Amino acid sequence: MGDNSGNGQTISKILMIAVMIAAVIFGASYMNNRWGKLRDIRRQSDAQSIVKALDFYYSQYGHYPEVEDDDGDGWDKSNDMTGVNFLDKLVITGYLTAVPFDPVNDEIFYYRYKKFMKGEYGCDDDFYVFQIARFESNENSLGHGSCPNLDWTKIAPLGFTVMTLE
């Protein structure tokens, strides 16, 4: 008769390793989801600060900042760190203490801003659109903003939009 205690120990070691690997994978997935929610909270906070700063800018100058650094289709985007953008103007004027940017700030997750002229998309006044391109969770508000010919929230359906007329 042979001793099978070695086989039992081997199987229990393999099971122990499998359980540890599963725990690490579950923990990493859980933490990534939690970090995503925390990044979304920061995005929401940034959006509130940026919109307030834009309103203060408008109160002082009578218009919203122009886009000087066209990062694509006339939009000024946070994921392009070259040149001057509308956020720099808000820092220079003291309405923001630092230039906010998306926590990930890549081709999928970024902030963007564009100022439009009266008549574009059927709107009766000049206006701006500020968007968070995308959130990591689906628990966030889409925001608001539309012209007669375009609902701006549909351009960033997984993000956040603010559109304000001058």
Question: Do 123 and 116 meet the contact criterion of CB atoms below 8 Å apart?
Answer: yes
Q: Domain range holding 153? A: 5-165
> Mean pLDDT highest for which of 22-36, 63-77, 144-158?
144-158
Task: State the total domains in the chain.
Answer: 1
pLDDT at residue 162 greater than cutoff 90? yes
The predicted-structure confidence for 116-153, as pLDDT tens digits, reads as follows 999 999 999 999 999 999 999 876 678 889 999 999 99
Which of 27-36, 46-55, 87-96, 150-159 is the least confident region? Answer: 27-36
pLDDT at 140: 65
pLDDT band at 69; cut points 50, 70, 90: low
pLDDT at 3: 57
pTM of structure: 0.78
pLDDT at residue 53 greater than cutoff 60? yes
pLDDT at residue 2 greater than cutoff 60? no
pLDDT band at 72; cut points 50, 70, 90: low
pLDDT at 124: 93
pLDDT at residue 84 greater than cutoff 90? no
